[in-house]
Amino acid sequence: MDQEERSVSEPLEPGKRDRRRRDDDLWDAIDVARFLKTSRSWVYMRVERAEIPHVRVGGLIRFEPARIREWARCGLAAVARGSI
């Protein structure tokens, strides 16, 4: 049985992390960095400067995928207009 056929309730092999995400799951810095094709440290730097939308869950920093996608679209449009 390959990864696509496995049901969500079936356990993964030991030592493997399932990176499949539902649309409503929050992202971590690794997910944002992968989406933006940048480094994790770049994401954390933007969080410290309050330049990227994020939420704090206890001591953790998480990101709403829809807000990151919108932020990326608006940021790219601003760069194209020369307003950044």
What is the per-residue pLDDT across 2-24, written as a single tens digit (0 to 9) for each?
444 444 445 555 555 555 656 66
Return mean pLDDT, the chain. Answer: 79
The amino acid occupying position 51 is E
> What was the pLDDT predicted at 10?
52
Q: Which residue has the higher pLDDT, 28 or 10?
A: 28
Measured N-to-C along each axis, helices 65-81 and 29-36 cross at an angle, to the nearest 10 degrees, of 40
pLDDT of residue 11: 52
